[in-house]
Amino acid sequence: MGTSRITYVVDKAGVIRHVAHNEVSMGSHIHDALKTLDALAAEAGE
């Protein structure tokens, strides 16, 4: 059985904005989560 990771990105209003689920590849999981956080920060003007 492999490693599975799930990351939920929740905005300040408590709304789930993204769910990242990867079975094995931690590198792509981290990249995906950071890319989502960057996009949300840009959207918020931060």
pLDDT in tens, 1-46: 567 888 898 988 999 988 888 776 666 778 888 898 899 889 888 7
Q: From residue 11, how far is each of 8, 37, 41, 44 by CA, in Å?
A: 10, 9, 10, 10
> What integer pLDDT is reported at residue 26 of this predicted model?
65
| pTM higher than the cut 0.75 | no
Q: Cβ(37)–Cβ(17) under 8 Å?
A: no
Contact 13, 43 (CB under 8 A): no
Residue 13: name the closest of 36, 44, 39 by CA.
44
pLDDT digits (tens, 9 = 90+) for 32-43: 888 988 998 898
Residue 30 backbone dihedrals phi, psi, to 5 degrees: -65, -45
Rounded distance between C-alpha atoms, residue 9 and residue 32, angstroms: 11
